[in-house]
Structure formats: structure tokens, C-alpha cells
């Protein structure tokens, strides 16, 4: 915002006095004006194009994390790409199955160690013909995100598990109308998927 110099003797950054006017008060007022202008500009651009920032945000425990996740799944029309660590949530797995049955392309890649040796949502979905792969290339695959219709991304610390809903302090953010961000998450999902091994249906 202003030219800066490094005082190598003290190893800190300061503004030249020529920008301070008669005192630091002028600098503070100038910074406030610039900040206010930038804020107004940021708010005006979406309004000028008729677009409101679109997102949903939730927290746990006992909050809206699960509802935000389910909203994203329910709104899907074409595809849902899921990357998961611990995947034991019955509501999330049933919502994904419902999306699959209404014609949405659903595919899941999950952590191998976190979803082996027990019956999880991974097995439930694979048994219902939803494509699922397990990835064992890392100490843990700790991702928890969904790419929805190539334009929305659900992300955050929220595991798809009962503990994440009722016991843990978690967050989830559903970003809508962000195709650029969605494309980057989809590329990461594809990389993990290509490394994975198919989960076969048990019946």
C-alpha cells in the first residue's frame, strides 16, 4: 500500500516519514479510507452483476455441519465426487445413495486404513453399486470434501461420521458457484481416485 524499507540494523519494516504527514493520525485515517473504499468495491462488484456470494457454513457439535453437507448432496443434479477419511455416517451415505438412484454420478475415494476391518459407509455404498475406491498411498488420506456438479465444493474439518456430528468441534463450508475452485478440487480427487483400488460389493 505504501513504499516500505527494511531497517537492517533492527530487522524490522517501517514506512518512510514522508508518508506520515504531520503525524501517524493522518496515516491511520488514510488507511481507514482506503480500507473502506476497498470494502465498498468488493461489495459492489457482485451486486453490479446480480450475483450474491453463495455459501452455507456449519459447526459441530450439535450444530449445522451435517445439515450443510446434506443440503449440498440434495442439490446435486449431475455429479458428486467424495474424498473421505473416516466414513461411517449413515445420513451422509444414505443421501449419497439417494442421489445415485436419482441419476447423479456419485463416486467415493476414501482412506484405506480408516475404512478397513469393519463395515463402513464405504461397504454400504459399494454394495449398492456406487463406485468406491480405497487409497493406501499415505499415512492417512485426511481429506473431507465433495465436488458437486463441477461448480460447488463442500469442505472443512468435518468427517462423515457420527462423532463429527455429536462429539467433535468441527466446521463445514459449502461454496456454491465456484467452478474454478471446484476444478482444482476435482483434479485432486481424480489423482487420489487413480491411486485407489476398487471396493467390491459383498453381495
The length of the chain, given as a count of residues: 203
DSSP state letter for 201: P
Q: Detail the DSSP E strand segments found in 24-166.
A: 55-60, 79-84, 105-111, 132-135, 145-148, 152-156
Please say if 194 is a catalytic residue: no
**Residue 75 annotated in active site:** no
> Residues 100, 111, 149, 176: which is the catalytic one?
149
Cβ(129)–Cβ(95) under 8 Å?
Answer: no
| Nearest-5° Cα angle at 74, 144 to 85 | 15
Contact 133, 196 (CB under 8 A): yes
Mark whether 7 is an active-site residue: no
d(CA 154, CA 148): 8
| Active-site residue, from 100, 111, 143, 144 | 144
The catalytic position among 142, 143, 194, 198 is 142
Please identify every residue annotated as catalytic. 142, 144, 149
Amino acid at each position: 500500500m505504501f513504499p516500505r524499507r527494511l531497517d537492517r540494523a533492527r530487522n524490522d519494516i517501517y514506512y518512510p516519514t514522508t508518508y506520515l504527514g504531520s503525524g501517524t493520525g493522518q496515516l491511520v485515517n488514510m488507511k481507514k479510507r482506503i480500507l473502506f473504499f476497498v470494502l465498498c468495491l468488493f461489495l459492489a462488484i457482485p451486486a453490479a452483476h446480480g450475483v450474491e456470494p453463495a455459501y452455507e457454513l456449519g459447526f459441530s457439535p450439535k450444530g449445522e455441519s451435517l445439515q450443510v453437507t446434506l443440503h449440498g448432496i440434495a442439490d446435486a443434479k449431475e455429479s458428486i465426487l467424495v474424498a473421505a477419511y473416516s466414513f461411517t455416517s449413515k445420513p451422509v451415505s444414505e443421501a449419497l445413495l439417494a442421489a445415485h438412484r436419482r441419476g447423479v454420478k456419485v463416486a467415493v475415494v476414501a482412506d484405506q486404513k480408516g475404512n478397513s476391518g469393519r463395515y463402513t459407509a464405504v461397504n454400504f455404498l459399494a454394495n449398492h453399486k456406487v463406485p468406491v475406491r480405497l487409497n493406501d498411498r499415505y499415512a492417512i488420506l485426511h481429506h473431507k470434501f465433495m465436488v458437486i456438479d463441477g461448480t460447488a465444493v463442500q469442505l472443512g474439518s468435518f468427517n462423515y461420521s457420527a462423532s463429527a456430528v455429536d462429539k467433535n468441534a468441527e466446521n463445514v463450508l459449502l461454496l456454491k458457484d465456484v467452478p474454478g475452485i471446484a476444478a482444482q478440487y476435482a483434479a485432486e480427487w481424480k489423482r487420489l481416485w487413480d491411486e485407489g483400488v476398487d471396493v467390491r460389493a459383498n453381495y
